[in-house]
Amino acid sequence: MKNQFRSIILLFLGVVLGVLPLFAAHIAMRDYVKTRGESFLDQTAQRTLMRAEDFVQDAVDVLSALPHYRVPVCDDALRESFRVMMMRHPAIHDVGLLYNGEYMYCSSMKGSTHFGAASEASLGGVPHLSFRAVQDNLTEKNGLLVEWTVARFVSIGAFIRVDSLGEQSMQTDLANSYRLSLKLDSGDVVTSSTPESRLQQRAPFYQFTPSEEWTRDLIEREVNSSRYPLVVSVAIPFHAVWESYGGVINVIDAFGIFTGVLIMFLFVRMALRKPDPYVSLEKAIRRKEFVPYYQPILDIQSGRLAGCEVLVRWRKPDGTVVSPGHFIDMAESTGLALPMTALLMEQVAKDLSESYADHPDLKVAINLFNRHFDDLAIVREAEQVFGNSGVRFSQLVFEVTERLPLENLDRARAIIVRMQELGIRVALDDAGTGHGGFAYLQKLGMDIIKIDKLFVDTITADSKHVPIIDSLSQMAKGMDMVVVAEGVETDEQLDYLRRSGIDEAQGFLFSPALPASAYLQLVDALGGMRRPKAIKDGLETSRTDLAS
Ligand code: C2E
Ligand code: CA
Ligand code: CA
């Protein structure tokens, strides 16, 4: 339940955090595109303005070099000087005397020019200098007329045609998409251009479909001249800049998608990952979630309760009880088997102390792992846990399985001897299934042999003779060992085992492994009245009668 919740949270986080880079990449990209558009416009406007300023400067230079102290007379000499001026400054298309600002009656050109004057703006601080956006009636070219007033109605003018004012955009993909206008600060437009007009100039017959998006999402810039009443304003649609960065955008988007997917993947992996078994086992040990269950063992010759075998169960906080098959191997391979056994022994001591003190003939068998036979730690632990408990060493049985080999038989033997010196008995579990066989029994000096369920299962209703059981039993008797049969499920099996002289048995026929309280009730029920300690210790303890 908790894990499911965690997975959902992680999946949710994965999706949210995975989408973020996409958005972030896109937002960053919009910002980037906008600044790139602005810097393109700034540069285009600056260049255009600088060029315009240079030409105006030329015109002012020309005009200031002419005699202003008197009203000029339009003679050949003046014409010649106009012509020389004009030649020296190729940007200036005409220099001449103007009458009433409209008619260049004394022009450097052969003919005379008539301007369609648009408006007038005076340059601050120089009252005799004015600037006008005009159109040359002859050529129909727009331009800038710079005038120096010399007398009432009379001025000297220099005409700069827009051709030379020309726009100075940088050669980028954006060069085709912007709008520009050069204006006087009065607002009069000297010249303007659009993508259409520029295209028209280069390819007059081309049908241009104007873009509809011109009015919205425009990036705009305006630059004012500090020297003359000139302003350049430029604009470009955002989408045009965006499109021109298509390649970069794809890369950034791809990066955003990649990062997003990566983050999602990591979170999904985290969400789906099973919790580390070591960590969860370790936590379960710390929280004492491993509890002993007790499977009763019966003396099948007398019918009395002989004791029990401790079988571990993992009781999870949500109440589920997990069988050892799901975690024993993991406990063994992670090395957590030892602390788990220690925990079980402590709980066994707690559960049984009181009851077992009253029933000294009842035994309790605890399963050990092969690793317990690597050193004497288990003997010290047993002394520590049971030394001062109601469970006597003589009631304790340690089971060693034959399924897995012991690493060092001599060392194991030494440890078993130490156990036996304390009074603890040692049983060979799963006898007949594994590696040891007779050699094990002999070398390790076992006290008890437990015949595996595998062999008990072979006993059927019409079994007359089950060789493996008979020979194990005979061999055990020869070595003065108690024989316990495991996994007894039917009356036929019980009958056969009893007839074969087997001492004890456990199995579902009698009882599965029980929680402590149930087992203790059973001991109480079968154990009769408790006797006061003082008397009891002096008495020969009698077995509880199980016979039905
Ligand atoms: P085991 O030591 O051979 O324990 C007997 C197993 O057979 C137990 O399974 C028990 O519940 C089951 N059993 C008993 N009577 C019958 C029966 O009549 N029919 C059937 N079908 N099964 C029966 P469990 O409790 O699942 O334990 C499985 C194994 O896990 C144990 O086999 C033992 O090797 C290991 N184990 C259990 N508890 C511990 C423990 O505390 N320490 C160690 N080292 N191993 C343990
Ligand atoms: Ca066992
Ligand atoms: Ca067994």
Percentage of residues of the chain with pLDDT beyond 90: 40
What sign results for the dihedral spanned by CA atoms 252, 256, 262, 263?
A: positive
Does 493 sit in the ligand 1 pocket, CB within 6 Å? no
Residue nearest to atom 42 of ligand 1 (CA): 367
Residue to probe by mutation, ligand 1, list 281, 300, 311, most atoms within 8 Å of CB: 311
pLDDT of residue 400: 93
The CA 527 to ligand 3 mean position distance, Å, reads: 26
Which residues, in sequence order, are CB contacts of 321 under 8 Å at separation 6+? 313, 314, 315
Ligand 1, atom 23: closest residue by C-alpha: 487
Mean pLDDT of 57-71: 78
Ligand nearest to the Cα of 490, by number: 1
332 within ligand 1 shell (Cβ under 6 A): no
Q: Confirm if 452 and 487 have CB atoms less than 8 A apart.
A: yes
Give the domains, in start order, of the chain with CATH numbers: 1-275 (no CATH), 277-547 (3.20.20.450)
Ligand 1 neighbour 310 (Cβ under 6 A): yes
Count of C-beta atoms within a 10 Å radius of residue 191: 22
Beta-ladder partners of 363? 307
Provide the 3-class DSSP secondary structure of residue 130: strand
pLDDT in tens, 304-354: 999 999 999 999 999 999 999 999 998 988 889 999 999 999 999 999 999
d(CA 483, CA 480): 9
Dihedral sign from CA coordinates of 7, 8, 14, 17: negative
For the stretch 503-536, pLDDT in tens is: 999 999 999 999 999 999 999 988 644 433 333 3
pLDDT (average), residues 455-479: 88
Mutate which of 367, 450, 504 for ligand 1 pocket (most atoms within 8 A of beta carbon): 367
What's the pLDDT at 345? 97
Handedness of CA 465, 458, 435, 310 (dihedral sign): negative
CB of 364 sitting under 6 A from ligand 1: no
467 CB near ligand 1 (under 6 Å): no
pLDDT of residue 172: 66
Nearest one of 438, 439, 441, 466 to 454, comparing CA atoms: 466
Write the pLDDT tens digit of every residue in 216-225.
788 999 999 9
What is the Cα–Cα distance from 121 to 101, expressed in whole angstroms? 13
The most confident of the ranges 44-48, 55-59, 271-275, 489-493 is 489-493
Lowest average pLDDT, out of 134-143, 180-189, 479-488, 523-532, goes to 523-532
- Average pLDDT of every residue of the chain: 84
d(CA 411, CA 34): 80
Residue 189: which of 228, 233, 155 has the closest Cα? 233
State mean pLDDT over 284-302.
Answer: 96
Contact 379, 419 (CB under 8 A): yes
In angstroms, what is the span from residue 69 Cα to ligand 2's centroid? 129
On whether the CB atoms of residues 185 and 144 are closer than 8 A, the answer is no
Q: Is 325 in the pocket of ligand 1 (CB under 6 A)?
A: yes
Task: Reply yes or no on whether the pLDDT at 546 is more than 50.
Answer: no
Q: Tell how strand 425-431 and strand 448-451 pair up.
A: parallel
* Inter-residue contact 417 to 444 (CB < 8 Å): no
Mean local confidence (pLDDT), 35-54: 91
pLDDT reported for residue 251 = 81
Ligand 1 site, residue 180, Cβ cutoff 6 A: no
Question: What pLDDT band is residue 86 in, cutting at 50, 70 and 90?
Answer: confident
Share of the chain above pLDDT 70, in %: 86
Which atom of ligand 1 sits closest to the CA of residue 293? 25
Instruction: Tell me the residues surrounding ligand 2 (ion) with CB < 5 Å.
Output: 367, 399, 429
Question: Is residue 507 a contact partner of residue 488, using CB atoms and an 8 Å limit?
Answer: yes
- Residue-level pLDDT at 134: 85
Whole-angstrom Cα distance, residue 82 to residue 156? 10
Measured distance CA(541)–CA(399) in Å, rounded: 25
Question: Which ligand 1 atom is the nearest neighbour of the CA of 403?
Answer: 34
Q: Does residue 279 contact residue 259 with C-beta atoms inside 8 Å?
A: no
Determine whether the shortest distance from the Cβ of 448 to ligand 1 is under 6 A: no
**Of residues 547, 475, 522, the one with CA closest to residue 352:** 522
Among the ranges given (119-133, 274-288, 338-352, 450-464), the one the predictor scored with the smallest mean pLDDT: 119-133
By the 8 A CB rule, do 298 and 497 touch?
no
Segment 43-54 mean pLDDT: 90
Least confident stretch, 129-143, 332-346, 359-373, 488-502: 129-143
For residue 405, what pLDDT is reported? 82
Q: Which helix (H) or strand (E) holds 63?
A: helix 2-64
Kindly state the tokens that stand for 220.
Answer: 């705009």
The CA dihedral of 276, 277, 279, 285, to the nearest 10 degrees, is: 160
Q: For residues 266 and 10, what is the distance between their CA atoms, to the nearest angstrom?
A: 10
Strands in 179-184's sheet, in edge-to-edge order, are 189-193, 179-184, 230-237, 218-224
How would you classify the pairing of strands 142-151 and 129-136? antiparallel
Atom of ligand 1 nearest to the CA of 488: 18
pLDDT value for 545: 39
Average pLDDT over residues 23-37: 86
